[in-house]
Structure 1
């Protein structure tokens, strides 16, 4: 019996048996047609999950894959019939998921949406809530209808890329330190170029200890992120993204510091143009700034590096990573993170170490770049396009194998000691 003899949905079990014989799957005629009475309509609705899961439970992987291929070809050839029956597009969840386990379903549209999840529409199908995003997207549901965040189809650690991103941010920090040495030599004379008018600095008295408190806020945020990084299942991707984003922002900061030298924001800074001699002297000073992370807590004092605030960049970036890669119901952690971020910014301004525009621009650039990067990564909008490869080559390189949002899953990063394994069994 060929597929052209009438409508496939009208085939009887005997006709399905003839089709299976013709395709070389005669050994499954008794199982499908005699035991489970698969007719034409049932045949069109079969998926790989049906073949591998109960009650069929086919165990020969090659047969499962070959039968799936011919079934998909048959379904494509009879798409009009499936559309009339309301079976197209087919939900084709990957096989191997047991009953009661999280179920993965393909979703191709958002028509009839009546829920929201992560900013995308949801719809109800067979009393299960499915996530809808443009294009085929993997979404995770449980049998009780509870929705969970979309599952990423592929999340390779790609440690070698993480190493490259670490080298990238390491080199950018070195370049930033060297540029800070150069701009120190070009600091405008305070007698000729007094501090610029600034609404905040002119209105709020200087607090001498405020800058130390700003760095303390940054250290606390850093410890919080390191703890999250160690416990996160996809720690390699998190670290790679942090390094690539931090390196890019500080590379931009090198440009803004170098092209324009702002006057010193306050008389208390005692900044003046200072020459470090030859190239070797500049390198030694850059190494001192580099090794001290540019922090006053480590004894590093710099001048001229005002546009834009590096402290604001670090504090804001760490805050966004802490809140992005922790579950949404961790409200206490998110509140602490935002309080540290906002207080850190306030302390930077209260210390009169930066102009208000330095802090505002730093916060804006950091947040926009973080959101832009993650929007592209989560939607895969431009990962493989020519435009992305030209304008965002690093993004395309680092994210080409990350398929969708990174789920917030945690595990213990260290192996259990041998004696504990023996005790536990």
Structure 2
């Protein structure tokens, strides 16, 4: 048994355990142990002969029980020996006899031999580089923390509700077009208005959203990804509530025919906010608003979807990345071509969304900042959601639904 594989047992997935069982001559138990009981590396290290005999496994062949328990004990012995030798070396890293020191003063341990379910892992100088250019410095299984994901979804929904209500308020304060004509804008003054362009912008967002939903569905760490999507999108739209409330820009075009609407009592405003919230603020669903210009919410959605698609798919998926960027940029062009926003609205929306996405992931991928006092003070939401995600999230993909047992038998 190669030592690199022994030290990597704690990071094995069920598929890797299945490969090990076949190598040891226990092919007939792959479906029982790996498919039905989802045995992975850490659980394999804890497996005993009593577990093999007792429910729920209840192996019937005595010889197989003895041989399998012997193979497991041999694997455990190798793992224990090599782990102790590694711990005695402290921060020594096996990179061709040299140590590797990071710029932040921490020593990084070389990643173990770890075959992921999407097969996109390559060994580089003792490290394992993922197809998205990231290196994984830990081999433990990432905790999905579904309860945090539920809180992230609740946070995003609450922000959407607040945004909808603020949009009702700013609609009441929209400047009179006869007194405040559209502001000078280089793009809007140079490009004629295309009436159907705004519908095309929303169609680009729908396609991008469908692409991201497929990525989330197939991604092994979909809970973490969805939590980050809710956290980032909610935070950007919360900032948008402030910017569009404090300053009311004049309507960018006479075709919008906007006028201040007085909705009367608070209950009427809440009803209008619920209409905007249920329609996701899209004209395709029959929602039309005025006054919510600084900054463009459609640009935020397009850009956020694009960045999540390109970040959490392998780097060699060139067609997907190109298509994602084309949809993002064409969507922005269509927003301006429809004269629904000023150019500054779109530019600020793109800049804020991209910077926040990059800053968030830079902090999330740097363990030195995740537990720092500064992160807890200035980024409490980030510190709460990311405290147990150590390092970059690898792009691992797997079938999200249970596989019928007869298919596993056919595949061996």
Length-normalised TM-score, structure 1: 0.70
1:406 aligns with 2:377: no
1:188 aligns with 2:159: no
Note if contact 1:108-1:133 (Cα within 8 Å) is conserved in structure 2: no
Q: Distance in 2 between matches of 1:316 and 1:63?
A: 48
1:416 aligns with 2:403: yes
Residue 129 (structure 2) aligned to one of 129, 148, 171: 148
Match of 2:237 in 1: 250
Change (3 A) 1:140 1:182: same
Match of 1:21 in 2: none
Change (3 A) 1:227 1:352: same
CA deviations over 1:181-221 (Å, ceiling 9, x no partner)? 00000000001111011110001000000000000000000
Deviation at 1:142, TM superposition (A): 5.9
Deviation at 1:65, TM superposition (A): 9.5
Deviation at 1:416, TM superposition (A): 1.9
1:91 aligns with 2:82: no
Q: Distance in 2 between matches of 1:226 and 1:62?
A: 39
Q: Distance in 1 between matches of 2:111 and 2:80?
A: 27
Note if contact 2:181-2:250 (Cα within 8 Å) is conserved in structure 1: yes
Deviation at 1:145, TM superposition (A): 5.3
Match of 2:331 in 1: 344
Match of 2:341 in 1: 354
Note if contact 1:106-1:139 (Cα within 8 Å) is conserved in structure 2: no
Q: Distance in 2 between matches of 1:291 and 1:277?
A: 21
Q: Distance in 2 between matches of 1:225 and 1:245?
A: 15
Deviation at 1:137, TM superposition (A): 2.9
Note if contact 1:107-1:135 (Cα within 8 Å) is conserved in structure 2: no
Q: Distance in 2 between matches of 1:411 and 1:66?
A: 29
Deviation at 1:108, TM superposition (A): 3.6
Change (3 A) 1:310 1:67: closer
Task: Tell me the secondary structure at the aligned position of residue 250 of structure 2.
Answer: coil
Q: Distance in 2 between matches of 1:386 and 1:208?
A: 51
1:7-406 equivalent positions in 2, closer than 5 A: 59=76, 72=88, 90-91=92-93, 108-109=100-101, 135-140=106-111, 146=124, 148-149=129-130, 150-153=135-138, 154=140, 155-406=142-393
Note if contact 2:336-2:342 (Cα within 8 Å) is conserved in structure 1: yes
Change (3 A) 1:280 1:396: same
Q: Distance in 2 between matches of 1:404 and 1:133?
A: 14
Deviation at 1:279, TM superposition (A): 0.7
Query: Of Structure 1 and Structure 2, which has the larger fraction of its residues in strand?
Result: 1
Q: Distance in 1 between matches of 2:287 and 2:77?
A: 66
Note if contact 2:101-2:108 (Cα within 8 Å) is conserved in structure 1: no
Q: Distance in 2 between matches of 1:179 and 1:372?
A: 27
Length-normalised TM-score, structure 2: 0.73
In the alignment, structure 2 segments of 5+ residues that lack a partner are: 1-70, 115-121
Note if contact 2:170-2:244 (Cα within 8 Å) is conserved in structure 1: yes
Task: Tell me the secondary structure at the aligned position of residue 382 of structure 1.
Answer: helix
Query: Which moves more between the two structures, 225-234 or 133-142?
Result: 133-142
Deviation at 1:312, TM superposition (A): 0.1
Match of 1:115 in 2: none
Deviation at 1:260, TM superposition (A): 0.6
Note if contact 1:384-1:400 (Cα within 8 Å) is conserved in structure 2: yes
Deviation at 1:156, TM superposition (A): 1.3
Task: Tell me the secondary structure at the aligned position of residue 333 of structure 1.
Answer: helix
CA deviations over 1:298-330 (Å, ceiling 9, x no partner)? 000000000000000000000000000000111
Change (3 A) 1:157 1:106: farther
Q: Distance in 2 between matches of 1:406 and 1:170?
A: 25
Change (3 A) 1:193 1:134: same
Q: Distance in 2 between matches of 1:386 and 1:272?
A: 48
Note if contact 1:231-1:413 (Cα within 8 Å) is conserved in structure 2: yes
Q: Which has the higher contact order (CA 8 A, sep 6+)?
A: 2
Deviation at 1:60, TM superposition (A): 5.8
Change (3 A) 1:59 1:302: closer
Change (3 A) 1:318 1:63: closer
Indicate the structure (1 or 2) with the bigger Cα radius of gyration: 1
Query: Which moves more between the two structures, 381-390 or 181-190?
Result: 381-390
Structural RMSD (CA): 3.0
How many residues of Structure 1 are paired with residues of Structure 2 in the alignment?
325
